Amino acid sequence: MKKVLLVIVALVICAGAYAQIETPVRWSYGAKKLNDKEAVVFFKATIQTGWHIYSLDVKDGGPIKTSFEFTPSNAYTPLGKTTEPTPVTKFEKAFSMNVSYFEKEVVFQQKISLKSAKAASVTGKLTYMTCNDKKCLPPEDVEFNIPLGK
């Protein structure tokens, strides 16, 4: 009886280890001060082979677009819109429409107006969705805190 119980426990543990959360996208951040009044923050997504994330510009009815939300601050204000390189655009059967996305890696940029010399970091949240040719993962929110340096 003990052997049967040990086998069942071992199978449950193995199944739990197999059902790990997929994380095909890793985010990294950086910033560069242009002068005392402006900086640029960078958001780099490194994407596993076979997966992609979506552009900042996706039509209604499609996947969740990548978006950036900056925490309101007295020290800084985003200038204009977040920018991206030219995405790949293809028809996706899952959404029955052309969608724009990035594979392997992408760097998004946002200009920041510095209202205070004491501005130390830019904070907020980014949202993205990732898919491969078989499935899509639920949209994910990632909080960020990007030091501005000196």
The more confidently predicted of residues 150 and 95 is: 95
Reported as a single tens digit per residue, the pLDDT across 61-85 is 999 999 999 999 999 999 999 999 9
DSSP β-bridge partners for residue 15: none
pLDDT at 117: 78
Instruction: Give the integer Cα–Cα distance in Å for 56 and 75.
Output: 25
Instruction: Give the integer Cα–Cα distance in Å for 82 and 56.
Output: 8
pLDDT(20) > 70 = no
Using the structure block, give the residue that is written with the tokens 């949202």: 127
- Of the candidates 73, 84, 150, the residue with the CA atom closest to the CA atom of residue 112: 73
Amino acid at 71: T
DSSP β-bridge partners for residue 58: none
Instruction: Give the integer Cα–Cα distance in Å for 70 and 7.
Output: 51
pLDDT at 111: 97
By the 8 A CB rule, do 53 and 129 touch? yes
Break the chain into its structural domains and give their ranges. Answer: 26-147
Instruction: Give the integer Cα–Cα distance in Å for 64 and 59.
Output: 9
CATH number assigned to the domain covering 26-147: 2.60.40.1250
What does pTM read for this prediction?
0.83
Reported as a single tens digit per residue, the pLDDT across 103-126 is 999 999 999 999 987 888 999 999
